[in-house]
Amino acid sequence: MSKKFIGVIAAMLSAVLMLSACQFGDPTQGTDIDAETLKAMKVNPELVKNKVKATIELDDGDEIKLELYPDLAPETVQNFVELAEDGFYDGTIFHRVIEDFMIQGGGYDENLKKQNTNTVKGEFSENGFENTLSHIRGIISMARAQDVNSATSQFFIVQQNADYLDGKYAAFGRVTEGMDVVDKIASVRTGSVAAQGMEDVPVDPIVIRSITIDNGSSSKSDKDSKSDKMTPKPSKKPTASPGTSPSSSPAAGSEIDEDTLRRILGGDDSSSSSSSRSSSSGSSASSSNSANTSGENEPIARGNLNSSRGNGSF
């Protein structure tokens, strides 16, 4: 067989492959997500082509860049974007950090005062909404209480793959730059705040300076400096009267009861769960507060709710 003939056959095969690609389409075409990552995300490529860019800037200057998917979780993305543009996240903290699991923020200020806002529909399969985005490393998702529609402003970024959360939480985007910052946050020293029954709280506050959406609007001060001809967006603050919860769910803003917590963690002995949260200094949150009174204290890590770096109450 001549080299010329082999060359012709090779050219024909190449042409056939090119035609096949054109006919059936490249699943990554139209998106800058590589094929391997797209496969791990377990999502329809068409639903992640439309992106909203966002940047989380911390007080120390570190940044986490995100892309959000409005075609995948439209109400969740809209809620996040409006809160960011209203300046809601400015000055909030990452208040719950568990290494090799996730970092959670967007609901408390440096003094651990909860920042209330309205609830948003839970866009995930267990709530009857198709959302297949898997909770792999780098995915951003909404925290919530037990009620499936109790998410408000708090979000978490997955540090290590946690696909057991799939279908239970509204994943709505991913980190494109800054996973080194996520890793750094996840490794900080944490402890418990006995007075509030909160666990895995960074000892030194990790403050979010702003969250900027791609149109450049990130805070109320930025918006105030723009033309007053712009029509202001309605506030995302709750309409509930002072002292009442903006959520329609009685579970939102309250702790998970001990029996439910044991079922989630797969444990049988509430005393062992409580003692595992005892501080090295001899003080700890009481058993009635052991499930974190923040309300949106989920997601819960498999096996152990607590960070291995917890160094006691403070």
On the question of pLDDT at 231 being above 70, the answer is no
**Element containing residue 213 per DSSP (H, E):** strand 208-213
User: What average pLDDT does range 36-50 have in this prediction?
Assistant: 95
DSSP labels, 32-62: -S-HHHHHHHT--GGGGSS-EEEEEEETTS-
Per-residue pLDDT at 13? 65
Q: Provide the mean pLDDT of the chain.
A: 74
On the question of pLDDT at 140 being above 60, the answer is yes
User: What average pLDDT does range 223-241 have in this prediction?
Assistant: 39
Domains of the chain by range and CATH? 45-225+237-313 (2.40.100.10)
Per-residue pLDDT at 101? 98
Which one is predicted more confidently, 25 or 133? Answer: 133
Question: Do 159 and 145 contact (CB within 8 A), yes or no?
Answer: no
Q: Roughly how many angstroms between the first and final C-alpha of the chain, as a whole number?
A: 81
Confidence of residue 56 (pLDDT cuts 50, 70, 90): very high
On the question of pLDDT at 280 being above 50, the answer is no
Per-residue pLDDT at 258? 42
Cα 179 to Cα 297: distance, rounded to the nearest angstrom = 22
Per-residue pLDDT at 44? 94
pTM value > 0.85: no
Burial class (CB in 10 A: 0-12, 13-18, 19+), 201: buried
Helix residue ranges, H only, the chain: 3-24, 35-41, 74-85, 179-186, 220-224, 258-265, 270-275
- Three-state DSSP at 109 gives strand
Per-residue pLDDT at 15? 62
Per-residue pLDDT at 284? 31
| Per-residue pLDDT tens digits for 145-184 | 999 999 999 999 999 999 999 999 999 999 999 999 999 9
Q: Of 79-83, 122-126, 195-199, 292-296, which gets the smallest average pLDDT?
A: 292-296
